[in-house]
Structure 1
Amino acid sequence: MSNTFSDGGQIGTVAGFSELVNTDFKGGINALCWYRNLDGDFNEIVTKLRLKENITEVSAEDLIALQLSEKGNTAREIILNDLQLLTDFGASPSLNLLKCYERDDEFDFIAADVYSWHVDRSPVPSDTFLCTYHGAASDIIPNSQAEQKILIPEIRAKLKELHDGTEEEFEDFLKENYFDLHYQLNEDAEPINLGQMHLWRLAVDHPQQKVLPCIHRAPVENEGEYRLLLIC
């Protein structure tokens, strides 16, 4: 495993799937990348799938039913193999054709959607796996370059105005509404784009986690372009 960024060692790169799932997060590393340069026409798959909702889950059967060119078939085999690897590992991967996610615009001072910089949380040990095959790719940021929004005085004050309870219950209120998962970037922050085709494993906030959870966000989609994303 090697580090590829001069960002304090947040990212480790691995040579294959086995190393991706068996390498422990440690030190400042909370993101692992199986870097791949894949030969396949993923755009052909996107153009032949049918978007039923803004987020449409694509099954293996949906993929297999497509009539594809040789390069389209190569792309399909890559996706099916990724799905099988993750399933055999014990994960529950989902392949999504995405137009857009739902926006959270309830409050103008704090958004709680996936376009906001955030971490994932789980009650049990788990990781977030993702791979963007087509379209805009997600971003991550070193933890040192962001601040938890609930610790920013003006945001915290507004959240307290929303809270109808005692001071002792306020922290539970923040967690129950997922406000504590969201972050604001420092002015000099330098986000890292995850790119297409690479399979990533990101650290999640859970009771046994030994590193900081990975701060990430979904990208704003490119105009007129769908994303094809594997995630679990």
Structure 2
Amino acid sequence: MNNTFSDSSQIGLVATFSELVHTDFRGEMNALCWFRNLDGDFNDIVAKLSLEENITEVYPEDLIALQLSEKGSIAREIILNDLQLLTDFGASPALNLLKCYERDDEFDFISTDVYSFHVDRSPIATDTFLCTYHGAASDIIANAQAEQKIQIPEIRARLKELYDGPDEGFENFLEENYFDLHYQVHADAAPVNLGLGHLWRLAVDHPKQQVLPCIHRAPIEKQGEYRLLLIC
């Protein structure tokens, strides 16, 4: 197994989907990994899909319609099974073929796009599931190795300059514009790459959450290579 995963108190390793969805987050552990070495040719799938926009959702019927090699067919069955497992669990998984996400370059001192380390928030109890089958994979960081950007004095001062309203409304302004979800990693921080083929469950910020939400980011895509990502 990947030593980076097993050495991290942030990450819990499991061997089955049932363990993945039924293991409770606790203490510093806010990321669970169903560690898998997948067989199959996922590149065969990516090469035969059509990218219609920077992000194209791929549906099961799209996968089934592809003419694939034997290894490509194995990869397809793995993806279809993952989609079915998550759907049966009550989640709403999406399979995306990705060239890139939209960038946020409105401000030079803070970014709110997914390439910035951030947490997910939900009004209801839920988790984020993701698996990268092909292309660059996401990173996570331990909460102790990052600081909420809105707590950094220089950034907070710039945000106050942007805000035009009463002092008591400033925190709501930060939430409404998602500034409070983004984090600055420490200089000596050591992000963990989530790798290919593993199905992850990440803690989300919601009212019933017992642990800190998992800080993560989308990777910068490799030149000329698409990502194939399951997420919900």
Q: What is the TM-score normalised by the length of structure 2?
A: 0.98
Where do 5+ consecutive residues of structure 1 fail to align?
none
How many Å separate the matches in 2 of 1:224 and 1:191? 24
Whichever residue aligns with residue 195 of structure 2, its letter is G
How many Å separate the matches in 2 of 1:4 and 1:23? 17
Alignment of 1:19-30 (within 5 A): 19-30=19-30
How many Å separate the matches in 2 of 1:186 and 1:203? 21
Q: Secondary structure at the match of 1:64?
A: helix
Matched, 1:89 2:112: no
Whichever residue aligns with residue 103 of structure 1, its letter is R
How many Å separate the matches in 2 of 1:205 and 1:5? 24
2:221 corresponds to = 221
How many Å separate the matches in 1 of 2:73 and 2:187? 44
2:54 corresponds to = 54
Whichever residue aligns with residue 7 of structure 2, its letter is S
Q: Secondary structure at the match of 1:75?
A: helix
How many Å separate the matches in 2 of 1:116 and 1:104? 9
How many Å separate the matches in 1 of 2:36 and 2:49? 24
How many Å separate the matches in 2 of 1:6 and 1:75? 29
Whichever residue aligns with residue 195 of structure 1, its letter is G
Deviations 1:194-228 (A, max 9, x none): 00000000000000000000000000000000000
4+ runs of 1 displaced by more than 4 Å?
none
Alignment of 1:102-117 (within 5 A): 102-117=102-117
Cα deviation, residue 5, structure 1: 3.7
Whichever residue aligns with residue 28 of structure 1, its letter is E
How many Å separate the matches in 2 of 1:176 and 1:86? 30
Alignment of 1:7-156 (within 5 A): 7=8, 9-156=9-156
How many Å separate the matches in 2 of 1:6 and 1:72? 33
Q: Secondary structure at the match of 2:124?
A: coil
Deviations 1:28-48 (A, max 9, x none): 100000000011000000000
How many Å separate the matches in 2 of 1:36 and 1:6? 17
Q: Secondary structure at the match of 1:56?
A: strand
Q: Secondary structure at the match of 1:97?
A: strand
Deviations 1:150-190 (A, max 9, x none): 00000000000000111100000000000000000001000
Checking the alignment, whether the CA contact within 8 Å between 2:133 and 2:196 is kept in structure 1 is yes
1:167 corresponds to = 167
How many Å separate the matches in 1 of 2:225 and 2:64? 22
Q: Secondary structure at the match of 2:201?
A: strand
How many Å separate the matches in 2 of 1:181 and 1:4? 24
Q: Secondary structure at the match of 2:220?
A: coil
Cα deviation, residue 6, structure 1: 3.3
Cα deviation, residue 4, structure 1: 4.0
How many Å separate the matches in 2 of 1:181 and 1:42? 33
Percent identical pairs in the alignment equals: 78
How many Å separate the matches in 2 of 1:51 and 1:173? 36
Matched, 1:6 2:4: no
How many Å separate the matches in 2 of 1:86 and 1:164? 43
* Matched length: 229
Checking the alignment, whether the CA contact within 8 Å between 2:6 and 2:13 is kept in structure 1 is no
